[in-house]
Amino acid sequence: MAEPGSFHFLLGSDNQSDIETFRLVVNTIDLPALVSTSVLSFERALSEHQPMVILIDENFGRGCGVDICASLCDQAPDLYTIVLSESEDFAHAIEVIRSGASDYLVKPLTESSLKHRLKIAERAMRPHQKIRELESIVEAQHASEDDVIGQSASFQRVQERILRYAPIDAPVLMTGPSGTGKSMSAKLIHDASVRAHKPFLEVNCATLNEQLIDSELFGHVKGAFTGAERSKRGIFEAAHEGTVFLDEIAELPIGLQPKLLSVLQDGRVRRVGATESTLVDVRVIAATNRNLVSAVEDGSFRSDLYFRLNVLSLELPALKDRKSDIALLAQSILTSKCEEFDLKNKHLNASAVEMLKRHTWPGNIRELENILIQAIAMTDGDTIHVQNLPKSVFDIELTIPDSAPSDTSSFQHQGGVTLADIEAAYIDFVLQQTGQNKSKAADMLGIDRGTLYRKLKQRRDQS
């Protein structure tokens, strides 16, 4: 029996001759198949196995085969449906096709004609099946990995590119600020590719000096340098048939860039101290938070290497450009960290979420995670309030001189911050200082309590 999610055919027929011909043909093309001899088992097979190609006898289900086919096409237009009929009438065949069927095959079935039609169907539906497989893989990853959660338009564009890039076995160059989830995105591409069951290895090019990173990436032979007491495989050899993720690729020393170029051009790796090269088969995914075009212009990065890496480009958005994802991301991180620390799950109240949304997030998702860990530590109950967030979240600074209220020389301004932002941040700060006591907060702000309530309601309505 075919496994759910695999590419397979489903035949709905109670004609024994057709069933035998069908089974004989699908065995010769080595693709799994299902046979249903009743409408009930046919519907169960559709639900449980989600076949990509369906063949249905016109007489199936007491002559309801065409109606069943039309209903299927309405519910799942991506299905490839073949109607089997004893009628050779051309007008009837046109009517069946117009009802939604993909193909029409006259009975009695012959091995050659059925094999030909099934191969056409298989070729037509392979791209749809691949997309289905990739979507299921990415959805599974999204359910378990904090860095790739989101519903914003910018994140959806990233997700779409991951789906499209995964089956294209070519280098990927990822750009974007630090802390935006490049490593996790690289792993998603690997997991959704044909190399998924082979190694995924990553190296940060900024963490090692030139000699060490040379050995780490390309390996070395015994005696190649002081301390090289035995030969060692490098990352590229160890990841043979898999994927290598090179983070901070802009920091790769200029002297090693030709060796990486050789891997990309012809799959050759030469260990430190070796005289011969080794052939490897790896996919390279590289990432940087720097402008590589500028690095090429200033001579710190080779132009030929840049063009070899930048085949498929993926820009990851900063967290400040994903404000609508913050609540979802934060709760996922809280759930994960509370489980890691063996604590009861915590959640953010609405005011805390709003404060997080107003933060500028220079450290992106990594900074969000650090802030939430601090908030977990400072929260006794199940709910994280604004006062439980660390001071770094309150990043709008305003100092008003006592002696000259009209003097603006001592204001510290952050670009893009509006007067409404400053007011909202200061109201939240005062509420934090008063333990959310709105009467005290109103007194400190110099307004009546009704005005404070109106301002808070206005913010809620606009969010």
Segment 396-418, tens digit of pLDDT: 544 444 444 444 444 455 444 56
- Assigned domain for 59 exists: yes
Contact 189, 285 (CB under 8 A): yes
Give buried/exposed letters for 357-394 (b at 16+ CB in 10 A, else e).
bbbbbebbbbbbbebbbbbbeebeeeebbbbbbeeebb
Residue 426 has pLDDT above 60, yes or no: yes
Return d(Cα 343, Cα 332) in angstroms, integer. 14
Whether residues 65 and 159 fall in one domain = no
- The residue-averaged pLDDT of 307-315 equals 96
Residue 461 has pLDDT above 80, yes or no: no
- The residue-averaged pLDDT of 120-148 equals 59
- pLDDT classification of 92: cutoffs 50, 70, 90: confident
At residue 3, the pLDDT reads 43
- The residue-averaged pLDDT of 169-185 equals 93
Whether residues 151 and 274 fall in one domain = yes
109, 133, 157 - which closes a domain: 133
Residue 305 has pLDDT above 80, yes or no: yes
At residue 400, the pLDDT reads 43
- Assigned domain for 4 exists: no
- Nearest C-alpha neighbor of 421 from the set 396, 445, 438, 453: 396
Whether residues 84 and 153 fall in one domain = no
Whether residues 312 and 349 fall in one domain = no
76, 106, 133 - which closes a domain: 133
State which H helix or E strand residue 455 sits in.
helix 449-462
Contact 218, 234 (CB under 8 A): yes
At residue 140, the pLDDT reads 46
Query: Domain range for residue 111?
Result: 9-133
Q: How many domains does the chain have?
A: 3
Residue at 229: amino acid letter: E
- Assigned domain for 1 exists: no
At residue 131, the pLDDT reads 63
Whether residues 75 and 173 fall in one domain = no
Whether residues 182 and 286 fall in one domain = yes
Residue 368 has pLDDT above 90, yes or no: yes
**What are the structure tokens assigned to 216, written together?**
């780490």
- The residue-averaged pLDDT of 127-150 equals 55
Q: What is the DSSP string of 348-406?
A: E-HHHHHHHHHS--TTHHHHHHHHHHHHHHT--SSEE-GGGS-GGG--------SS-TT
Whether residues 352 and 441 fall in one domain = yes
pLDDT digits (tens, 9 = 90+) for 232-255: 999 999 999 999 999 999 999 999
Across the chain, mean pLDDT equals 83
- The residue-averaged pLDDT of 300-310 equals 96
- pLDDT classification of 450: cutoffs 50, 70, 90: confident
At residue 1, the pLDDT reads 40
At residue 129, the pLDDT reads 62
- The residue-averaged pLDDT of 100-119 equals 87
